[in-house]
Amino acid sequence: MGELFATYNILGAFGLTILLTVSSAVGSLVIGTVVAIMRVSPVRFLNRVGAFYVNVVRNTPLTLIIVFCNIGFIVNLGMSFTDNIARNNIIWAIIGLSFYHAAFVCEALRSGVNTVPAGQAEAARSIGLTFGQSLTEVLLPQAFRGAITPLGNTLIALTKNTTVATAIGVAEISGLMKEMMEFRPDVIVVIFLIVALGFVILTLPIGLVTTHLSSKLAVKR
Amino acid sequence: MSSVLFDHPGPKARARHKVIAAASAVVTVGALWWALAQFKEKGNLDAAKWTPFLTADLWVNYLIPGLLNTLAAAAASIVLAGAFGLAFGMGRLSHVTAVRWVSTVIVEFFRSVPVLVMMFFAFYVFAFNNVFRSDLNSLAAVVTGLTLYNGSVVAELLRSGVGSLPRGQTEAGLSIGLTRGQTLRSVLLPQAVTAMLPALVGQLVVILKDTALGYLILYQELLNKFQQIGSYKSNPVPALVVIAAIFVVINYALTSLASYLERRTRNRGRATIPRGALGPAPVDTEPIADALVLADEEVLQERYRVPGRAHE
């Protein structure tokens, strides 16, 4: 097993997985928040645009989106951020992952808003809070707490979904695992267990933290 | 249109909303126009790149066989994942500690490993040991990966569905002389499955989307056909767009069916597991259980007018 770690840069590949996860998490949080604002806004046109985005992206396979980033944007349009091909692929993988998971972030935030009972808004208004005050003091704090668990679930899914980036040649862990399995069929089970354990280590804390947070911050109703 | 966040708009607010709508329409149309212009420049909007999709040739020889392979892998995975989920879901509810522990470890493990990793592993295990005829390896690997992951999700749904039924159901079953197993099978499971139904249909979308991972182990499913079409008609981008549209139409229909089932179950005064709880993610059971209790509480309050007693 030590020899596997010596021959192959397993930790480096996991490092790239973490890089993809963190950058896409930030990206999808930004895009998802914008789409969520559109979906809950009182402007009907924005609702429609937001709903269209979510329905299209949520129902498209992530593999297809990642492949499209390569075929459509890199190959066909020749869009590149850097001359370094490997780095360019990483950037496009992050873009694809961000836009895909943004749809789920949006739905997570929206479900958080939906956990707030209408009575809270009515109560806030009836004690004389302005629109801005009721939003920032009463509604959004509760909505955020309701969104913690679905956001955590989305982050766990994102961590696992970074493996799809191997479709456009990003050298993250699943691509390395494939390579190792091809060259070392004798220790195939060990390789699988190392990679699987790595993902358990990455995703388990996220689940524990969000479960802890959501029960600690739960709004008792 | 009214929501918890906003008041009903007055005349001023309505005028403001119109301005915002107009401005965002300009931005949206502008962005789409710009994107299309980029693709047009590379000739992607030429009629010659799209007319092949109006011929029977592409559909009969590429798209439909690809779609059938996708559906075959999805169907096999659904059946196997159902069996896997039923077995380990009941295992997690067993009163034999060892069975419960083994089931828990298996379910939690397969939920936290990426489907793609399991597919690669299954593919090489099958290939190196000649488990299947060589042309069936990729199908078998796709089905294995999808079964293990989605089976675990189903097991989790089943457990949380049963766990969140009112305790009186178990007590009633036991008190009329049913054994624990009989109570589980004939009282709790039918109710849990009803509650799970929308979530299960939502899971079909996940399975159908994840069959596209088969592209990476050269399973000849729908996404894979874009390369053949692309090199045959030199239109890879239009081919990807058409394939994406096929996926979106099928999955959107399934998503709508799931929402319909959710509404119907709720209108009949029963609890459901909200589909949102699934998302793309492994199901966290606690929020589902919470949601079920919440939904249940509403139902109970409506039915018996006993507020605050549903949590017992």
User: pLDDT tens-digit profile of A78-130?
Assistant: 998 999 999 999 999 999 999 999 999 999 999 998 888 888 988 988 999 98
Q: Tell whether A191 is covered by a domain.
A: yes
pLDDT tier, B163 (very low <50, low <70, confident <90, very high otherwise): confident
- Here the tokens at position B59 are 């559909």
Which range of A90-104, A202-216, B86-100, B177-191 scores highest in mean pLDDT? It is: A90-104
Burial of A168 (0-12, 13-18, 19+ CB in 10 A): buried
Residues 6+ apart with CB under 8 A from B141: B119, B120, B122, B123, B126, B214, B217, B219
Instruction: Output the pLDDT for position B281.
Output: 37
Q: What angle, rounded to 10 degrees, do the helices at B97-112 and B137-163 form?
A: 120
Cβ partners under 8 Å of residue B109, min gap 6 = A196, A200
Write out chain B residues lying below 8 Å of A128, CB-based: none
Please indicate whether, in this complex, the C-beta atoms of B112 and A200 are within 8 angstroms of each other: yes
Helices (H), chain B: 11-41, 47-50, 56-58, 64-92, 97-112, 115-129, 137-163, 167-175, 180-183, 189-210, 225-233, 236-267, 285-304
Helix, coil or strand: residue A23: helix
CA-to-CA separations, A147 to A4, B29, B48, B268, B285, in angstroms, rounded: 41, 31, 47, 28, 15
B17–chain A nearest CA distance, Å:
6
Report the pLDDT averaged over residues B281-305. 41
- Asked, for residue A187, whether it belongs to a domain, the answer is yes
C-alpha–C-alpha distance, residues B205 and A123, integer Å: 40
| Dist CA B198 CA B205 (whole Å) | 11
- The Cα of B69 is separated from the nearest Cα of chain A by a number of Å equal to 15
From the CA of A157, how many Å to the nearest CA of chain B? Answer: 5
- Residue in A closest to B17 by C-alpha: A43
> B198 CA to chain A: closest CA distance, Å?
16
Q: What's the CA gap between A164 and B114, in Å, rounded?
A: 9
pLDDT reading at B297 higher than 80: no
Q: Which of A120-134, B146-160, B252-266 has the highest mean pLDDT?
A: B146-160
Residue B307 has pLDDT above 50, yes or no: no
pLDDT at A140: 87
pLDDT, residue B306, reads 39
Between A64, A166, A211, which is nearest B240 by CB? A64
Running DSSP on this structure, what letter comes out for residue A220?
P
Of A71, A125, A211, the CB nearest to B237: A71
Residue A221 lies in a domain: no
Asked whether residue A100 is assigned to any structural domain, the reply reads: yes
Q: What is the CA radius of gyration of chain B?
A: 24
Interface test with B, best of A20, A31, A58 (most B CBs within 10 A): A58
* Residue listed under structure tokens 């397969």: B110
pLDDT of the residue at B305: 41
Residue B116 has its nearest CB partner, among A60, A149, A163, at A163
Q: DSSP string spanning A180-209?
A: HHHH-GGGHHHHHHHHHHHHHHHHHHHHHH
How far away is chain A from the Cα of B266, in angstroms, using its nearest Cα? Answer: 16
Q: Considering only the beta carbons, identify the residue of B13, B117, B284 that sits closest to A149.
A: B284
- As a whole number, the mean pLDDT across chain B is 85
Highest mean pLDDT among A95-104, B42-51, B55-64, B252-261: A95-104
Contact call for B237 and A76, based on CB within 8 A:
yes
pLDDT at B135: 87
Residue A55 within a domain: yes
B123 to chain A nearest CA, in Å? 10
Q: Which of B28, B1, B289, B16 is nearest to B163 (CA)?
A: B289
**CB-based burial of residue B161 (10 Å sphere; 0-12 exposed, 13-18 middle, 19+ buried)?**
buried
CB pairs under 8 A between A and B: 197
Query: Which 3 state secondary structure label does DSSP give A206?
Result: helix
Interchain proximity A46–B24, CB inside 8 Å: yes
Looking at per-residue pLDDT, the higher value among B302 and B140 belongs to B140
Rounded Cα distance between B98 and B92, Å, is: 10
Residue A114 is predicted with a pLDDT of 86
Provide the percentage of residues in chain B whose pLDDT is more than 70.
86
Q: Which residues does chain B have within 8 Å of residue A76's beta carbon, measured at their own beta carbons?
A: 39, 42, 44, 236-237
Tokens representing residue B25 in the block? 């329409």
Contact check, Cβ <8 Å, A153/B284: yes
CB of A195 closer than 8 Å to CB of A129: no
Q: Are B146 and B269 in contact (CB under 8 A)?
A: no
Q: Answer whether residue B300 shows pLDDT above 70.
A: no
Q: What does the alpha-carbon distance between residue A103 and residue B124 come to, in Å, rounded to a whole number? A: 33
Element spanning A19, H or E? helix A10-40
Distance to chain A for B113, nearest Cα, Å: 5
Cβ distance B279 to A154 less than 8 Å, yes or no, reads yes
Which helix or strand (DSSP H or E) is residue A159 part of?
helix A140-161
Q: What is the distance between the alpha carbons of residues B116 and B109, in angstroms, rounded to a whole number? A: 14
Q: Which of B25, B244, B279 sits opposite A64 (nearest CB)?
A: B244
State the Cα–Cα distance between residues B64 and A190, nearest whole angstrom: 39
Cα separation, A158 vs A104, in Å, equals 10
Decide if pLDDT at B287 tops 80.
Answer: no
Number of domains in chain A: 1
The token pair that represents A145 in the structure block: 């707490």
DSSP-derived 3-state class of residue B219: coil
CB < 8 Å to B223, chain A: 61, 63-64, 67
| Interface contact flag, A135 B255, Cβ < 8 Å | no
**CATH class label, B55-304:** mainly alpha
Identify the CATH number of the domain in which residue A129 sits. Answer: 1.10.3720.10
Q: What is the ipTM of this complex?
A: 0.93
When CB atoms are compared, the residue of A154, A160, A185 closest to B114 is A160
Print the SS3 string covering B81-114: HHHHHHHHHHHHCCCCHHHHHHHHHHHHHHHHCC
- Do B236 and A154 lie within an 8 Å CB cutoff? no
**How confident is the model at residue A106, as a pLDDT?**
96
Return the structure tokens found at A62: 């992530």
CB within 8 Å: B116 and A156: no
Closest CB to B281 among A153, A177, A182:
A153
| Range(s) of the domain holding residue A157 | 2-216
Confidence of residue B271 (pLDDT cuts 50, 70, 90): low
**pLDDT tens-digit profile of B126-145?**
999 988 888 899 999 999 99
In this prediction, the residues of chain A whose per-residue pLDDT falls under 50 are none
Report the residue of A10, A45, A95 to disrupt the B interface, i.e. the one with the largest count of B CBs within 10 Å. A45
Residue entry with tokens 């083994």: B102
How far A155 CA lies from chain B's nearest CA (Å)? 8
- Alpha carbons A77 and A67: distance in angstroms, whole number: 14
Q: Which chain A residue shows the shortest CA-CA distance from B225?
A: A64
B114 and A163: CB-CB below 8 Å? yes
Q: Would you state the pLDDT for residue A221?
A: 72
pLDDT at B284 over 70: no
Q: What is the mean pLDDT of residues B281-291?
A: 40
Angle in degrees, 0-180, between the axes of helices B189-210 and B236-267, rounded to the nearest 10: 170
Query: Residue A113: its chain B contacts at CB < 8 A?
Result: 3-5
Rounded to 5°, the CA angle B51-B54-B56 comes to 130
Q: Give the minimum alpha-carbon distance from B173 to chain A in angstroms, rounded to a whole number.
A: 31
Q: What is the pLDDT of residue B274?
A: 58
